[in-house]
Amino acid sequence: MLINGQAYVTGEFSQPIKLSQPVEVQLLADGRQNLGGSLAGANTVSPHYYTLTMSNRTASQIYLGGTITPIAGTCSVPNQTVILPKGSLNKLGNVGSTIGMKNFQIQINNCPKGYNRVGYTLDPVGGTIANSPGVLPLAGGSTASGIKIRVENAQGVPATMGTSIKVDGYNKTADGSFAIPMQASYIRTDAVAKPGTVNGAMTVYLDYQ
C-alpha cells in the first residue's frame, strides 16, 4: 500500500498521517507461480485487505475486487547491429547535416495475447543528449569526433527516447510479432569534427499493462 506515494508499513499504533494524495494499493509477485483466480478467494464476500483508522477513531476498510488472469510469458526483442554506409566528412558541411541514411526495424517478437497494452521505450546507451532528439552518444570504439548517429522513425522524425510508445499492432485477443520501421544516419553535431569510426547504441525496454 502506498500512502502519499510512499510504501507504508502497517502497524496498530502508527503515527497519524495526513493524506495529500489518493491511497494506492499495488499487487506484487512474490516468486510463486501465479495460478490466477479471484481476489476474494473462497469467500462469498471479498475480505478487506486493509483498515484505515481515522483521527476521530472511525475506520474505513479497503476491499479488492476482480480476478487475476495469468498471461503466458512476455515479448522478446533480439539484439541487432545496424551498419551504416561509409560517408565523407566533406558531405557533412554544417552542424545538423546528415548523410548515410540506413533503414532498419525494431523486432518485437512472440507477444502473447492477454495484455491490455504493450509498449517499448528507447534508451540511449550513455544517456540522452540535451537538445539533440534522437541522437546517440558516441559508444566504445568510436574514433571520430563531432559526428554522431541519429535515430528516426519511418517518417524521418527524430526518435522519442525515454518514453513508452504503444505497439500499435498489438491486439490482446491474439499472439503476434511486430516490426517497428526506423532509420539511422550520421549527423554532424559540432563545428569541429574529425573523421573516423562512429558507434552508438540503444536499449529497447518493453512494458506491459
Domain ranges for the chain, please list them. 1-70, 89-208
Residue scoring higher pLDDT (106 or 5): 106
The pLDDT of residue 67 is above 60: yes
Residue 133 grid coordinates: 532528439
The pLDDT of residue 134 is above 80: yes
Query: 6-39 pLDDT, tens per residue?
Result: 887 766 556 777 878 888 888 888 888 888 888 7
The pLDDT of residue 41 is above 70: no
The pLDDT of residue 129 is above 90: yes
Name which of 150, 152, 204 is nearest 178 in CA terms: 204
Which pLDDT belongs to residue 44? 60
Which pLDDT belongs to residue 65? 77
Mean model confidence pLDDT for the chain: 90
Query: 154-206 pLDDT, tens per residue?
Result: 999 999 999 999 999 999 999 999 999 999 999 999 999 999 999 999 999 99
HSE at residue 77, side-chain half, CA atoms within 13 A, is 19
Which pLDDT belongs to residue 135? 98
CATH topology assigned to domain 89-208: Immunoglobulin-like (2.60.40)
Largest Cα–Cα distance in the chain?
A: 77
Rg from Cα positions in the chain: 25
> Please, which residues have CB within 8 angstroms of residue 169's CB and are 6 or more apart in sequence?
176, 178
Assign 147 a pLDDT band (cuts: 50, 70, 90): very high
Which pLDDT belongs to residue 160? 96
